[in-house]
């Protein structure tokens, strides 16, 4: 049975990169972790970040990486600001004879138009990628054929000139979300740039902001990992990989007041003594939460500004509060995943 070789690529964002803007791409690392957990010893992964290479003053040379790794599949993570770079990687990978896949927020929301215009992209993985990616890898063990992939949820591809969109993939339950495979990255090089480790305690958000693309990407759902799972990841990041700084990348870290207080209490009890950064909104914090987070080690909070017009912002926040008070939380059921 063939072992599939996969190169995971984070393309370069085409603007001057400061070291503080470099983070570890846990989206790609999560794909590898999930596949290795469910399909052990059948798929081998390599990870390449053009963003890291540029930040370190090195060449973002994808050709040399392809020659060195000889992958069967090149899987590229893409957002709007690195889409041009992603296409350049795809073109080079296709010339090298690789099967090329694109995933991430931007291709998810523009899948049909991208697959129509770009012949060097074989397929697009839409939305949360773990289950979709696993099923693709299972198909690749036998035959690289788009016909055999048409039954897999969450794909967009072109066949005989026609664009095909399979139905959206269902989401993982919170317990199934694995810790990213940090063993694939060169930890010391990120530490040279003082880059924090990234950790998600939840996926999604139950607000319905019109300007936010993440609401569609996460299917208007919010799934929160068990607190013990979060603590297990923190222990791994500190004691196995040596990180001292953590970026909680939840869309709104303080979304659930009771939960964030419980998480902070556990971090304090465990005496992890790390420093954390979080993202949230000004209407989602109070004195108790701020003091508790500071006691737990939170040293940076990035606040989202909903709108510069007070009248629009005020109306928007009022609508959000009504949504919450009326029990309109868009929270996914615990068991909302596909069966094989």
Q: Kindly report, residue by residue over 58-113, the tens digit of the pLDDT.
A: 888 899 999 999 999 999 999 888 999 999 999 999 999 999 999 999 999 999 99
Partners of 23 in beta bridges? none
Q: What is the pLDDT of residue 94?
A: 96
Q: How far is residue 164 CA from its own chain's centroid?
A: 24
- Residue ranges per domain, the chain? 4-165, 196-325
Looking at the chain, how many residues does it have? 340
Tokens of 164: 């095909």
Cα(170)–Cα(174) distance, integer angstroms: 13
Tokens of 87: 């296409």
% of the chain exceeding 90 in pLDDT: 56
Of the candidates 51, 92, 98, 95, the residue with the CA atom closest to the CA atom of residue 74: 98
In which band, very low, low, confident or very high, does the pLDDT at 328 lie, cut at 50, 70 and 90? Answer: very low
Q: What is the pLDDT of residue 197?
A: 92
In which band, very low, low, confident or very high, does the pLDDT at 144 lie, cut at 50, 70 and 90? Answer: low
Q: What is the pLDDT of residue 332?
A: 58
C-beta of residue 37 within 8 angstroms of C-beta of residue 75: no
Q: What is the pLDDT of residue 329?
A: 47
Hey, which of 10-19, 23-32, 138-147 has the most confident mean pLDDT?
A: 23-32
Average pLDDT, the chain: 85
Helix ranges (H only) for 220-270 are 227-235, 257-270
- State the average pLDDT over residues 270-278: 93
C-beta of residue 128 within 8 angstroms of C-beta of residue 179: no
Indicate whether 335 pLDDT > 50: no
- pLDDT tens for each residue of 38-58: 999 899 999 999 989 988 888
Q: What is the pLDDT of residue 313?
A: 52
Hey, which of 7-16, 263-272, 315-324 has the most confident mean pLDDT?
A: 263-272
Q: For 213, what's the count of Cα atoms within 13 Å in the CB-facing half-sphere?
A: 11
- pLDDT tens for each residue of 235-253: 999 999 999 999 999 988 9
C-beta of residue 321 within 8 angstroms of C-beta of residue 284: no
Q: What is the pLDDT of residue 312?
A: 54
In CATH, what number does 4-165 get? Answer: 3.40.50.2300
Q: What is the pLDDT of residue 173?
A: 87
C-beta of residue 255 within 8 angstroms of C-beta of residue 283: no
C-beta of residue 124 within 8 angstroms of C-beta of residue 138: no
Q: Out of 128-132, 231-235, 326-330, pick the least confident.
A: 326-330
C-beta of residue 173 within 8 angstroms of C-beta of residue 335: yes
Q: E strand or H helix at 324, and its extent?
A: helix 310-325
Say whether domain 196-325 belongs to CATH 3.40.50.2020.
no
% of the chain exceeding 70 in pLDDT: 84
Residues 315-321: contacts with CB under 8 Å, at least 24 apart: 316/209, 317/283, 320/207, 320/283, 321/283
């Amino acid at each position: 049975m063939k072992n599939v070789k996969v190169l995971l690529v984070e393309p370069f964002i085409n603007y001057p990169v400061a070291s503080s803007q470099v983070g570890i791409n846990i989206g790609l690392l999560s794909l590898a972790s999930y596949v290795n957990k469910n399909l052990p010893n059948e798929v081998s992964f390599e990870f390449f970040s053009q963003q890291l290479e540029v930040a370190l003053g090195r060449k973002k040379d994808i050709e040399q990486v392809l020659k060195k790794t000889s992958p069967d599949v090149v899987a590229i993570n893409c957002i709007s600001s690195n889409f041009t770079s992603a296409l350049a990687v795809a073109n080079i990978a296709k010339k090298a004879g690789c099967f090329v896949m694109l995933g991430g927020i931007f291709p998810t929301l523009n899948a049909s138009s991208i697959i129509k215009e770009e012949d060097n992209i074989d397929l697009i993985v839409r939305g949360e990628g773990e289950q979709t990616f696993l099923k693709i890898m299972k198909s690749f063990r036998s035959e690289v054929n788009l016909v055999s992939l048409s039954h897999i949820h969450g794909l967009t591809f072109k066949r005989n000139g026609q664009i095909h969109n399979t139905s959206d993939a269902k989401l993982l339950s919170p317990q199934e979300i694995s810790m990213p495979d940090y063993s694939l990255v060169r930890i010391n090089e990120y530490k040279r740039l003082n880059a924090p480790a990234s950790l998600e305690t939840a996926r999604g958000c139950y607000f319905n902001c019109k300007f936010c693309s993440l609401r569609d990407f996460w299917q208007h759902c919010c799934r929160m990992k068990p607190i013990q799972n979060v603590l297990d990841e923190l222990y791994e990041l500190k004691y196995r990989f040596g990180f001292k700084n953590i970026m909680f990348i939840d869309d709104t870290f303080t979304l659930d007041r009771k939960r964030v207080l419980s998480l902070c209490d556990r971090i304090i009890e465990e005496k992890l003594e790390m420093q954390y950064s979080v993202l949230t909104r000004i209407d989602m914090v109070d004195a108790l939460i701020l003091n508790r987070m500071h006691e737990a080690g939170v040293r940076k909070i990035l606040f989202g500004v909903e709108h510069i017009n007070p009248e629009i912002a005020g109306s928007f926040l009022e609508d959000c509060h009504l949504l919450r008070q009326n029990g309109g939380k868009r929270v996914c059921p615990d068991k909302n995943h596909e069966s094989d």
